[in-house]
Amino acid sequence: MSPHIISPGHALRLRATQVLQTSSGETRATGEEWLVRDVGAYLPGVFEEVVSMVKAVTLTPKLALHIRAIDSYTDQFGRKRHVGDEWLVTDEDTECYIPDVTEEVVKVVRLTVLKPRQYCVVVDAVGKDGRPQLGHRELRCGPLTFFLQPGERLESGIKNALLLQSDEAIVVTAQEELDDILPNGKKVHRSPGDRWMLNGPMDYIPPIEVGAFQTRKAIPLNENEGIYVRDVQTGQVRSVLGPQAYMLKANEELFEKTLVPLVEDILKKGGGIGDTNIRKMAYFESFVDDSYKKRDKTRVITYRCPNNCAVQVYNYAEKTARVVFGPDLVVLDPHETFNVLFLSGGPDPAAHESSSPDQYHQKS
């Protein structure tokens, strides 16, 4: 039998075919396996079976080994390990690592790199005792490098900090108790369910106690433009008119104002619909506003009332009505709507009684 050559970075894995005593004086039981790490030539004994030649794993600052113990023993570094224990071996421990026969290589772990303005949340973060704290979440911000320990995982991966410009803001909601540090350095206590707004310009990394958040941008409003805004705490709806750039507050949201289909159709056609009295219909056609064809329901509704016309507006919250005479711009408040008038398009005052609605001249 020729000897086996053990080169640097390798080990010879042996198995005892019966109870024996090795050349180093150790007693091995039948079926027991062990490694011979000494560099040089090794001639196996009569009752020693060569299993394989094991090659060392080269560890770098960017690679680590996730190891699991399959038996209780003392590892190469003198640490006591129990069955099921898991740990990392990094280049700080050794440059080359040969797993023992009582160890299982779970996987190769790559270095996690957080650049400036990046962050991540580690779930089940390992505590001081080296064991995962189930349910514990830990925020880590860049620049930072680390290996995920066994049992740890990233929640939604690596994220970039939110970059808020001068016309942007973010609304956040607290899920847990926390002491929030404002940009000016002031400390504010937050309770679960609290909502608050942070205005740009700034970089924002949400604490782990913060849940859902919304990014908002100032809404530019020209003259005669506006939006409907609802207070989510009181339910009140109001109009905000330009010229200004309006930023929704933490307790506000855009409100969509709906109109009945008939009024929508009338506005799209300049204030009148029907197929009779072509001269009057053509008059309203000149007041068609293209923005009504695809209306943003959060925008304040306006109508340019033509000359020699009047518009009746009804406030269903206050149960009042007002009349606007043209030429003028009608601006609807959140609780207002147009009253629709049905007029006969023919010489016979009773003609509408037997005509279909599309034969009427209608004006809001």
pLDDT at 341: 66
- Report which secondary-structure segment, H or E, holds 265: helix 261-268
4-55 shares its CATH topology with 219-254: yes
pLDDT at 40: 92
CATH of 57-110, one of 3.40.50.720, 2.30.30.550, 3.20.20.140, 1.10.3720.10: 2.30.30.550
**Fold of the domain built from segment(s) 112-159:** SH3 type barrels. (2.30.30)
Judge: domain 4-55, CATH 2.30.30.550.
yes
pLDDT at 350: 45
pLDDT at 264: 80
Judge: domain 219-254, CATH 2.30.30.620.
yes
Give the integer Cα–Cα distance in Å for 158 and 91. 24
Cα-Cα-Cα-Cα torsion 361, 364, 319, 332, nearest 10 degrees, comes to 170
Residues of the chain with pLDDT under 70: 1, 269-293, 340-364
Domain ranges of the chain: 4-55, 57-110, 112-159, 166-215, 219-254, 261-363
pLDDT at 289: 59
Give the integer Cα–Cα distance in Å for 147 and 129. 17
The answer to whether residues 327 and 305 touch, using CB atoms and an 8 Å cutoff, is yes
Domain 261-363 in this protein, CATH class: mainly beta
CATH code: domain 166-215 is 2.30.30.550
Work out the burial of residue 322: count CB atoms within 10 Å of its CB; fewer than 13 is exposed, 13-18 middle, 19 or more buried: exposed
